Amino acid sequence: MREVVCLSGWGQKFDSLEYIFDHHHFSDFKVSSYNYFSNHCVDDFFCEFSKTYKNIDCIIGWSLGGQLASRLIAKKIIKPKLLILIAPPFQFVKNSKIKAAMPKNSYQDFLNNFKAAPNKTIKKFSILTIINDINSKNIIQNLALENSNNKSLIYWLQELGRFSCFDIDFDNFPSTLYFHGIGDMIVHNSQKDYFKEKIRDLTDISFEKCGHAPHISKEKEVRNYIYEFFKQKLY
């Protein structure tokens, strides 16, 4: 049986991607999710992940989860046959290298607000997820927020702010399927160009009138693209 591992986004339930892999399309796949919120530093995440998973056919990551999946591959902790990225930040905070990102002051304000009022702030964050999305009502109904481990969420928000994919080696990346919403207000759609430049075999799917959760907004389309991707690359 082929194996798929999911890494969800910051502030989302760790298993929130599993519904994509319905039994009808993916009956011969074992799908599981790794809860990186259970790790309180990135080195522990790398260590525990390497103990948990050995042979993976595909890893899929949304937002921060996509960035972490990329780091696992770059570090050669895993060597999946395929990678699926959903709106990952190449770099979350703006600097001289990347302009279409969150201003440093805005990021610091968000971090401070989360420390002071985590539940209120994470709800505001969820609103950013649905902005510019034609299917915003559906996203509101299906977003699964994680707000039970605030200490860990603070750490991973800090990790998101300090890390840049400019610091990793993309030479040995597998075939990659990449999804992004053109109206994304959390990770600017233009950040896909950095991944396209670095990953030799990348298929880019960008959706009009779509925000930061294309897998929810365009559920059927995303599922079908993944199914065809697997048929082409795994069978």
pLDDT, tens only, 76-126: 999 999 999 999 999 999 999 999 999 999 999 999 999 999 999 998 899
Q: How far apart are CA 45 and CA 48, in angstroms?
A: 5
pLDDT, tens only, 157-183: 999 999 999 999 999 999 999 999 999
Is the whole-model pTM more than 0.95?
yes
From the list 130, 134, 132, 110, the residue with the least C-alpha distance to 120 is 110
Concatenating the DSSP letter of every residue in 55-72 gives: --SEEEEETHHHHHHHHH
Tokens representing 49? 């992940």
DSSP E strands, the chain = 2-7, 29-33, 58-62, 82-86, 175-181, 202-207
Domains of the chain: 2-234 (3.40.50.1820)
pLDDT, tens only, 179-219: 999 999 999 999 999 999 999 999 999 999 999 999 999 99
